[in-house]
A and B are shown apart, each in its own frame.
Chain A
């Protein structure tokens, strides 16, 4: 099977050459890496080859590179260097936060509260704890994806171990009023641990863990246009956490195995670049985002915007549903013309389920199946967006022309 797949992919690569123009808007799944981050990585690969916890000169160099990254990330989020734990992805960091806390805290508190629109790397570990006897509550959101304060207030109590709510939603870009959510929880009981998946927030909004008053926060390198293969968990000094993997510890306590030092170095550099130019990048992304949304709404019929408008939406996030147009087919059609996007359709998921985020904001199945997610980055240009707007109407029209039922 694997070799069939490989044959197919090689044949496809041979048959379909590189499109003349390519616009990569699928940074939800993978993506562009900042030049500065690449350079930093190359330098570490070449010059800091050691193991960061072994005491020889190459090891000291690796240790220094690791801590240079930590200083950059800590500074950007308002934390101390010692409060960062590295993993190899945001998924791992979310797992560490949830499962590691449950492991450390025993059976004294048996309730976990998450929002209905969390990333699956939050939802799945929480569901695993539910199977082990924890009570799991998924707090509903409104039609724009904002967590309802009163529902959250009712959900938390003195039995609650953990609340996990993402600062910026990865699919529909909702920027939560997290400070208010934390306040509601801490008012109820200040010993409840508050974790936020901030992978989609870093580099998109101003962020300070002290000001937000969160206990843990997840970050992911590829979401800040750093390399894949690095994630971080901020763990406030004093929060008890147990490692969830076993093995030889290296320079840190919570994730055994040797750190991916070059990737972490690239991660740190990307964070530094993004935060130092935050205002400039945010307004650039907002401009392109709104140009893309307006262009779609003005030129294509039967479209819904998923998520909020304007300042309460992540600056790069565009998520729209094209009715009577199956999303997966649209992603394939667009990819033939060099426009790379993803979809919340059941067809693109390996489990064949429609996006739980879109269903949670009240979208129907048909609307979820026709959804397309595009993320513009600081590296995109007006010309990129113009090209996408040129390709989209024709692609949507073609997929709609195949459908047995016509809209309108």
Chain B
């Protein structure tokens, strides 16, 4: 079921609009120590996070993002890269989507998933950092709820896209 008649941009906080207009930390980091994406073009929601890490103290020296998504998605990825600069990976791991929402002056309820996707992308990047390194004790082996939800969104879209392709391949369509 679609929903066309409510296709009106949602009222955003001034902070979201400000970051949407003048994003900081936009782009890639060449030779990043860790990077990850979450979401997909089909979701209409995709965030890529790039990290440069000081290997001695595991502090994040630099963080950048790219985004395919609505203004809230762009602002969420942006504010997250601001928040984690200078943090240890351990501390960055603990940032919740709720903190992102608060920093943005409150996301509309239907946009909470933008914060979740940003957290999902960051945690994937942190896991990627430890892929070839010794895993610290604070890094859980099973997926956190934010990572699970990110994965579920990706899987659901894959299924929907497949079904749509099948439907449009049917004769008489």
**Chain A interface (Cβ < 8 Å from any Cβ of B):** 4-5, 8-9, 11-12, 15-16, 28-29, 91, 119-121, 123, 127, 140, 142, 148, 150-151, 170-171, 324, 326, 328-329, 331-333, 335-336, 342-357, 359, 362, 364-366, 368-369, 373, 402-405
Contacts and interface: CB of A to CB of B under 8 A. Distances in A.
B145 interface: no
Contacts of A171: 4
Given A328-B9, A348-B9, A365-B161, A355 B71 contact: no
A329 B3 contact: no
B67 A402 contact: yes
Given A8-B105, A15-B14, A329 B2 contact: no
A348 B8 contact: yes
Interface residues of B, number: 50
25 contacts: A4-B106, A5-B11, A5-B108, A8-B13, A127-B1, A324-B41, A326-B69, A328-B71, A329-B69, A329-B74, A332-B12, A332-B71, A344-B7, A347-B73, A349-B6, A349-B7, A351-B1, A353-B3, A355-B7, A356-B2, A357-B2, A359-B2, A365-B43, A402-B67, A402-B68
B5 interface: yes
B95 interface: no
Contact of A12 (B14, B68, B160, B164): B14
B164 A359 contact: yes
A326 B45 CA distance: 8
A8 B44 contact: no
B17 A350 contact: no
A12 B17 contact: yes
B87 interface: no
B53 interface: no
B156 to A, nearest CB: 11
B126 interface: no
Interface string B85-122: 00000000000000000000110101001000000000
Contacts of A362: 168, 173
A91 B5 contact: yes
B1 A356 contact: yes
B172 interface: yes
Contact of B110 (A120, A335, A350, A403): A350
Contacts of B135: none
A404 B160 CA distance: 22
Interface string B50-91: 000000000000000011111111100000000000000000
A345 B44 contact: yes
A198 B13 CA distance: 37
Interface in B143-173: 157, 160-161, 164-165, 168, 172-173
B63 to A, nearest CB: 15
Interface string B6-30: 1111111110010011010010000
